[in-house]
């Protein structure tokens, strides 16, 4: 069949594609997806061996690279050869390996790199529940509890080492928000702010340092609130914050604040939990006209790439929560007495709401 005939006959073109592509492009795509677990382990090994750090000053031969990494020369060469195929590093003549732009994200001195995420995803805490993903798909319940017998937060309280790493990981993302978004959000508009589910207080501390007349209230689960005391004190802002232990889905929300900030929290909630939290916030606001500020992402519709769609599966498996499309957010707001007043982008954004 000629190319012109395929162009003129879409059905014929589709039939030809079905005949020739499954063993090539389509099949290759599925092979790569099915090999994702192996690929992740390769990336994790590269990160733990600090290969990007070792190559950051220039290319190295495999013998010297293996010596510096403390690795078996031939085994490391095989690992790097595969990573070069994936575009992470590049292999030159005579077993010499060098960086690519992709590998820069693996450098330990890259404040915007992905090392914390790689290590977080490799923990038993986040990896093992995916062995039971079918439990979540069949029941809608988090596989985490099925795997470990307790929920995510209880597990952290029982495993101090995992808890410490998660604190560091959350602070890493809080730093990203503080550096990239804090000025854009203009929280200085508000004389006071209630940070609900504020974690260890790192982000709130950055906001208070930036706006020296602002006062605040941080609410989170008691064991997280205890950590916030120390962080806020270390940043010299504790005298302007009231820290309270409580559950956003069941306990009253403090009244009397100009804005209520909920950052990266609703994605961990089911719709029922989200409605309970929003209703509690609406009660606290009353008729004061205070604003509700939600930091989260809005899922893209259709089939295009959106990292939040992967995070949506994380929320399902680990927490029983979900990411939401714009219409999902609108439904939650309408049901709980709020109205969205800004136009969010389809990425991490600030959803600004006012009480109805």
Q: What is the pLDDT of residues 97-113, one digit of tens each?
A: 999 999 999 999 998 88
Compute φ and ψ for 114, nearest 5 degrees. -115, 10
Q: How far is CA 302 from CA 68, 161, 296, 321, 349, in A?
A: 47, 40, 19, 21, 20
pLDDT band at 349 (very low <50, low <70, confident <90, very high): confident
* pTM of the predicted structure, to 2 decimals: 0.85
The DSSP secondary-structure symbol of 110 reads -
pLDDT band at 10 (very low <50, low <70, confident <90, very high): very low
pLDDT digits (tens, 9 = 90+) for 226-248: 999 999 999 999 999 999 999 99
Query: How high is the pLDDT of residue 247?
Result: 95
Ordered structural domains, the chain, with CATH: 3-107 (1.10.10.10), 119-355 (3.40.50.150)
pLDDT band at 2 (very low <50, low <70, confident <90, very high): very low
Whether residue 346 contacts residue 300, with contact meaning beta carbons closer than 8 Å, is answered with yes
The DSSP secondary-structure symbol of 351 reads E
Query: How high is the pLDDT of residue 118?
Result: 94
pLDDT digits (tens, 9 = 90+) for 111-167: 888 999 999 999 999 999 999 999 999 999 999 999 999 999 999 999 999 999 998
Q: What number is the average pLDDT over the span 312-321? A: 97
Cα dihedral: 303, 308, 312, 315 (round 10): 170
């Amino acid at each position: 069949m000629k190319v012109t005939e395929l162009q003129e006959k879409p059905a014929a073109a589709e039939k030809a594609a079905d005949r020739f592509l499954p063993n090539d492009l389509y099949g290759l795509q599925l092979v790569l997806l099915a090999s994702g677990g192996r690929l992740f382990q390769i990336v994790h090994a590269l990160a733990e061996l600090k290969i990007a750090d070792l190559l950051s000053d220039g290319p190295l031969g495999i013998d010297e690279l293996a010596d510096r990494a403390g690795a078996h020369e031939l085994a490391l060469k095989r690992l790097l050869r595969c990573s070069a195929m994936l575009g992470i590093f590049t292999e030159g003549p005579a077993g010499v390996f060098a960086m690519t732009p992709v590998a820069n994200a693996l450098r330990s001195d890259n404040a915007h790199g992905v090392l914390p995420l790689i290590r977080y995803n490799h923990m038993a805490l986040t990896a093992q529940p995916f062995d039971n993903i079918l439990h979540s798909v069949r029941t809608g319940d988090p596989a985490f509890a099925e795997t470990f017998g307790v929920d995510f937060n209880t597990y952290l309280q029982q495993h101090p080492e995992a808890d410490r790493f998660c604190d560091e990981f959350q602070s890493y993302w809080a730093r990203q928000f503080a550096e990239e978004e804090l000025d854009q959000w203009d929280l200085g508009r508000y004389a006071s702010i209630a940070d609900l589910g504020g974690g260890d207080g790192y982000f709130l501390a950055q906001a208070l340092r930036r706006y020296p007349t602002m006062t605040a209230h941080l609410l989170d689960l008691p064991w997280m609130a205890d950590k916030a005391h120390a962080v806020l004190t270390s940043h010299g802002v504790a005298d302007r914050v009231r820290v309270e232990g409580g559950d956003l889905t069941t306990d009253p929300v403090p009244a009397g604040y100009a804005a209520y900030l909920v950052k990266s929290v609703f994605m961990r909630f089911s719709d029922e939990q989200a409605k309970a939290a929003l209703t509690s916030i609406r009660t606290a606001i009353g008729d004061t006209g205070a604003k509700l500020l939600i930091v989260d992402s809005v899922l893209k519709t259709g089939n295009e790439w959106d990292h939040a769609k992967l995070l949506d599966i994380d929320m399902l498996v680990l927490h029983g929560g979900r990411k939401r499309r714009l219409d999902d957010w609108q439904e939650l707001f309408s049901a709980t007495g709020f109205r969205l007043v800004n136009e969010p982008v389809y990425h991490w954004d600030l959803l600004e709401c006012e009480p109805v």
